[in-house]
Amino acid sequence: MSDYILAIDQGTTSTRSIVFDKSYSAKGFGQQEFAQHFPRSGWVEHDPEDLWRTTVETARYAIAAASVGAQEIAAIGITNQRETTILWDRRTGKAIYNALVWQDRRTADACARLRAEGASDLIASRTGLLIDAYFSASKIAWILDHVSGAREAADAGHLAFGTVDSWLVYRLTGGQRHVTDITNAARTMLCDIGLGQWDDELLRCFNIPRSILPEILDNIDDFGVAQRDILGATVPIRGMAGDQHASLVGQACFEPGRMKATYGTGCFALLNTGSDRVVSKNRLLTTVGYKIGRQMTYALEGSIFIAGAAVQWLRDGLGIIGSADQTADLAQQADLEQQLYLVPAFTGLGAPWWDPSARASLFGMTRNSGPAELARAALDSICLQTHDLMQAMRSDWPDASISLLRVDGGVSKNAWAMQRLSDIVGLTVQRSNSSEVTALGAAWLAGHGAGCWPGPEQFAAEREIGQGFHPYVDADQNFQLVRGWKAAVRATIQFASQVA
């Protein structure tokens, strides 16, 4: 059997396909961006055909670039942007409306009504989630209620719902499989994560018929076979996970207490809690980390809305840098007598604050504050938000022994920021050598599922580890820095409440 695995990483702004070999090296790579649609303020949509087209084209390109034939691909692994919602007609295979992207906020008022009606406890206890437009359930209801004839078609059994993983599998298999994996199902606000099943009471809450839902499978499972006319050979699909869960796997966080943070536009931090389904007291999300071999592994998740986007703001909004990598040199030049705090609530505050009305603020400026101090404040904001998440996770799971933070994503390439992160969180920060950790996680799921890649222990031992950063700042310095940060966040939230 061949050891080559094709990983499809369908993201929010682009689709990437990568062919990995048995040494976990990328042998062929294809990437295409696609259009973002903003029909109204707060609405974000994708054309589902763009997601499908870029998947096929990048997969074909990656296979050709790897100089292998499609018949040499042992299996396909899929990872995807989570929560994005698509409904299609089973008779035609065509979507009945654009995909509602996870960023879409059109159902915020509907979610507020559910909170006012007292549904929060039910939803949190079954799903581990907070009621929010971020998740899929309210998006499904919106499409059913706003697309002419949609409810009638759903009642007649003609419609199918899926997150992006389901949509791609449906098309790859020629409409033969309507399935999802447990990590994507767990982000819909319709899945009981204790049972790993769709929940009838939650379906009634959102007025969603069960008939439109996909079958829920494990992360390593039989998801069907990609048809010959798509890639040039029939290829089994053996692994699938939402992007942050695939990153958890790609970072080999297989043991309870292992934690990873992915720094892109925002930051998603997941802490493996093993078989413990930890209920957060700090407004973190309880989610499924992954399910392998019928064994459910849970995680605590914290979402930071603005991480790398704070650096983008320095470049595109203020024009004080030409490229992101300039921030490291600037931050090193900053006046240490000044401590600026940037609270980057450009789109509200995520975990553990969860204040969508908050807006960005800057504290501590003097006449001598300039680009260097702003660069340090932007990078500090990423580190301090991560500190908040880790503090919340330790509070929620006091038995956890967190000694290492594994990181990936664009910001992780900034050595100054990673050393600063290590100093602020007081942990060793281990940077991945691979720039495609998420795709690698999907590839390992598929490769292990196909029987040609090793188990978790060997994968963890063999994967290439990058640079480690160790804390050097003493506790008193950290205490003063964190105290100032918390005061800045409280002031930001208070200001938003007074001007709302």
CATH number at 231 reads 3.30.420.40
Mean pLDDT confidence for 5-24 = 93
- Is 377 domain-assigned? no
User: Is residue 471 one of the residues assigned to a domain?
Assistant: no
pLDDT confidence of residue 384:
95
- Say whether the peptide bond before residue 371 is cis (omega within 30 degrees of 0): no
> What gap in Å lies between CA 17 and CA 112, rounded to an integer?
38
Per-residue pLDDT tens for 375-399? 999 999 999 999 999 989 989 998 7
What is the C-alpha to C-alpha distance for residues 277 and 369, in angstroms, rounded to an integer? Answer: 46
Distances (CA, A) of 497 to 284, 357, 388, 409: 22, 8, 21, 33
Is 1 a residue whose pLDDT tops 70? Answer: no
As a whole number of angstroms, the distance between CA 104 and CA 45 comes to: 7
**Is 206 a residue whose pLDDT tops 80?**
yes
β-pairing, 361-363 vs 341-343, is: antiparallel
Average pLDDT over residues 149-169: 96
**92 Cβ neighbours under 8 A, 6+ residues apart:** none
Is 382 contained in some domain? no
Q: Is residue 148 part of a domain?
A: yes
The answer to whether residues 289 and 301 touch, using CB atoms and an 8 Å cutoff, is no
447 in any annotated domain: no
The two structure tokens encoding residue 132: 């929010």
Confidence of residue 500 (pLDDT cuts 50, 70, 90): low
End-to-end CA distance of the chain: 62
254 with 277: CB under 8 angstroms? no
In a domain, 395, yes or no: no
Stretch 349-378: mean pLDDT? 89
Q: What is the pLDDT of residues 55-76, one digit of tens each?
A: 999 999 999 999 999 999 999 9
Domain for residue 106, yes or no? yes
Range of the domain at 116: 4-243
8 within 8 A of 17, measured Cβ to Cβ: yes
The per-residue pLDDT of the chain, averaged, comes to 92
* pLDDT, tens digit (0-9, with 9 covering 90-100), for 98-126: 999 988 888 988 998 999 999 999 999 99
Instruction: Please check whether residue 172 is in contact with residue 179, taking contact to mean a CB–CB distance below 8 angstroms.
Output: no
Our count of domains for the chain comes to 1
Q: What is the pLDDT, as a whole number, of residue 15? A: 93
Closest CA to 63 of 107, 5, 119, 115: 5
Please report, rounded to a whole number, the percentage of residues in the chain having pLDDT higher than 90.
70
Look at residue 398 and tell me if it is in a domain. no
β-pair type (225-226, 45-46): unpaired
Residue 465 confidence (pLDDT) above 90: no
